[in-house]
Each structure stands twice: as C-alpha cells, then as structure tokens.
Homo-oligomer: A and B are copies of this chain.
Amino acid sequence: MKKLTIKEFARAINMSVSTVSKALRDSHEISSSTKQKVVAMAEELQYHPNPYASSLRRKKSKTIAVILPEVADSFFSLAINGIQAVAEQKGYHVLIYLSHDKYQNEKAFIDDCGSGRVDGVLISVSQETVSASHLRQLQSGNVPVVFFDRSLSGFETASVETNDFECGYIAAQHLLQNGCRNISMLSISGCLSICQKRTDGFLAALEEAISKDETISGSITELGDKHEMAMQQIADVLQNSNSPDGIVASAESVAIQVYLATSKLGVAIPQQLKVVAFSTLETAEILNPSLTTITQPAFDIGKTAAEILFKAIEKPQFTLADEHIILPSRLVKRQSSTGMVFAEMTLSM
C-alpha cells in the first residue's frame, strides 16, 4: 500500500486539502458531518498525516526528551513510567537518551534537543555535570527544561526532587538509634546535588549525636564511578582498622555492591554491619537480609515533572523557575538495620 499524502487523500474523497486538514484537526470551521466523513475515510484509506510536515509548519514537535543517566535502575525506570503516563495522555512522544553519567553524552543530546526537535526536556543530570551552559543554550531557544531527581544549582528552572537532606538525616539517625557507633556514608558522587544533600543530612545527624556522645564517630566515602573500583573501595571501608558498624548507601547500585562485598568478606548484616539504602528496589523485601530503604516516590517524581513541563509547553508565559516540588521519601525499616529475626538466629547457633 502506497503512502498517501493529504493531496491524494483529499482528491480521493473529493474534498479540498484544507477541508481535510481542518477536519482532522477538529477545526470549528468545519461542519461535524464533514468531519465525521473525513475521519471515517482517513481510517478506511489509512491516511496518516506526515508528522514532520506538520511539525515543520506548526513549529511544534509533539515530542519531549528525557535525558537520564541510566535506565537499568529501578528509580529511573519507575520515573520513566510516570513520565510516559502523562506524555501518552497528552498525545506526546517520548525520546529517551541515556547519558551513562557522562557529561559529553549529555551535552550532545541536549544540543540535539535544540533546533525544534522537542518541545521540552526532562533531565536528571549526569554525575559529571557541573556547568549549565548546555542547558542555558536550550533555554535561550525557548525549550523548557525541568529537572527531576538530580538538579543543578545555578540554573533557574523547575525541579521535582525528594527531601534528600532530611532523608540523609533520618537514615543516619535510624542507624544510631539501632545501636551503631561508627557510621559511614557511601556516596556515588560529591558533585551531585542530591548526594551532597544526603551527605549533609547524614552529617547533621552525626554531629548532633557526637555532641551528646563523644564515642560516636562517622565518615564519608565518595565512590569512583567504575563498578570495580567502587567494589574495592567498599571492601576497603569494611576492612578498615576502624570499620563502620553502620552504612548509608546513597543509591541502589551502592546497596547491591555493599551486599556483594559483605557476602564475599563474610561480614554479617545486620549483626556486624547495619545498612540503610536510598533505593526503590522491588526486591528490597526479599533480600538476604531484607533491606531497609529510603524509598523515593519515583513514579510520582516522573509524573509531576512531566506535568510541570507540559504546563510550560502549553503556556509559554508559565514561570518554570517558581516551581520547586519536593515529594518526600519514606524510611521503610527492614532487617538490614533492625535485624531482630536474624540476631536471634545467630544467638542460637
């Protein structure tokens, strides 16, 4: 079957091109009987307007871009679900770009997103991103940008994040309350604002505790971004002369590596080491032992960010910089930090 143009289609059904165009876009200048006829015939003859001709003419692509570090991570995949849900409802298409936490990739994608390819961009910045120049470029081309989860300070636009500082505080406090005396934060990147906030919260709780009890201590480790290296660093932390008895993992991948490392080194969680992780892992409940998490509202973060982006797309005078949404995460206590069940079993052995 040949691909129909609007001209051919119009001729085939004995109408003018503009009538067809207007009818399909549901213009009020067209009688409803005509509209019905056109729509029916379009279905019948399989006429689909060429989206690029339409985009060119209308200067609207009906497409948004999502730029994120990684999709093989439950936080991001859930966020994409949220984004997709609202895009679909709005009749928008979603381009996905994976930066793999490299600034160069991110910049290349962003550059591609100028020039009218997309009507808006949702981004969770890479670990390496420190400058916002590439984003500024976009903004000056009138492409709205919304941060989700990982934002960039020094660039004024909407953001949808979680309460990272508070959660860092809660995580540390939780470990201390469960008897830890020497807690350690494993952070994936000192540059990332969310890690910085989580770490700051952790430090706040730690200092507060130290001020009451000087025997308490703590530390912070920034992991390299290569998996092998991170693994080694974690092993080093655990075998250190004053190794911690409590760990806050700042991301899902870190939590997994901590579990793998402890199992290899024979460190028992939670008896020797208590763990709490920032993560939305679906398997947290069934890990060995089950993992205490700070669970982010990943789907809602994606959904909310997309909703804000569409507000900006739909009315250009919308002030993105005023929108800073915080969706709180929650602490889900499980055995890795409380360890009641396993502690008993250990005693009996």
Interface residues, chain A, CB within 8 Å of chain B?
Answer: 1, 3, 46, 48-53, 55-56, 61, 63, 71-74, 77-78, 80-81, 84, 88, 93-98, 105, 111-112, 114-117, 137, 140-142, 256, 259-260, 263, 281-283, 285-290, 345, 348-349
Is the Cβ of A51 less than 8 Å from the Cβ of B288?
no
Given contacts A48-B112, A48-B115, A263-B285, 17 further A-B contacts (CB under 8 A): A1-B140, A3-B115, A3-B116, A48-B114, A51-B115, A53-B56, A71-B71, A72-B74, A73-B77, A93-B117, A94-B95, A256-B282, A283-B283, A283-B287, A286-B287, A287-B288, A345-B349
Q: Give the nearest-CB partner of A58 in chain B.
A: B52
Q: Give the nearest-CB partner of A108 in chain B.
A: B88
In the complex, which of the residues B72, B142, B285 contacts A77, with contact meaning CB atoms closer than 8 Å?
B72
> What 4 A-B pairs are tightest by C-beta distance, nearest first?
A288-B288, A48-B115, A259-B286, A52-B55
Is the Cβ of A3 less than 8 Å from the Cβ of B141?
yes
- In the complex, A3→B142 CA distance in Å? 9
Cβ contacts under 8 Å, A289 to chain B: 288
In the complex, which of the residues B53, B93, B263 contacts A95, with contact meaning CB atoms closer than 8 Å?
B93
Cβ contacts under 8 Å, A95 to chain B: 63, 93-96
Is the Cβ of B285 less than 8 Å from the Cβ of A286?
no
Is the Cβ of A52 less than 8 Å from the Cβ of B48?
no
Cβ contacts under 8 Å, A51 to chain B: 115-117
- In the complex, A288→B111 CA distance in Å? 46
Cβ contacts under 8 Å, A349 to chain B: 345, 348
Cβ contacts under 8 Å, A112 to chain B: 48, 93
Is the Cβ of A71 less than 8 Å from the Cβ of B61?
no
Is the Cβ of A50 less than 8 Å from the Cβ of B115?
yes
Q: Give the nearest-CB partner of A140 in chain B.
A: B1
Is the Cβ of A116 less than 8 Å from the Cβ of B74?
no
Cβ contacts under 8 Å, A348 to chain B: 349
- In the complex, A256→B281 CA distance in Å? 11
- In the complex, A55→B61 CA distance in Å? 12
Q: Give the nearest-CB partner of A290 in chain B.
A: B288
Cβ contacts under 8 Å, A61 to chain B: 52
Is the Cβ of A98 less than 8 Å from the Cβ of B84?
yes
- In the complex, A97→B55 CA distance in Å? 20
Cβ contacts under 8 Å, A50 to chain B: 56, 115-116
What are 18 pairs between A and B in contact, CB < 8 Å?
Answer: A3-B114, A3-B142, A46-B114, A52-B56, A53-B56, A56-B56, A72-B80, A80-B98, A84-B96, A88-B105, A94-B96, A94-B97, A263-B285, A283-B283, A283-B287, A287-B288, A345-B349, A348-B349
Cβ contacts under 8 Å, A71 to chain B: 71, 77, 80-81, 84
Is the Cβ of B141 less than 8 Å from the Cβ of A1?
yes
Q: How far is the CB of A35 from chain B (nearest CB, A)?
A: 19
Q: How far is the CB of A222 from chain B (nearest CB, A)?
A: 22
In the complex, which of the residues B81, B93, B256 contacts A283, with contact meaning CB atoms closer than 8 Å?
B256
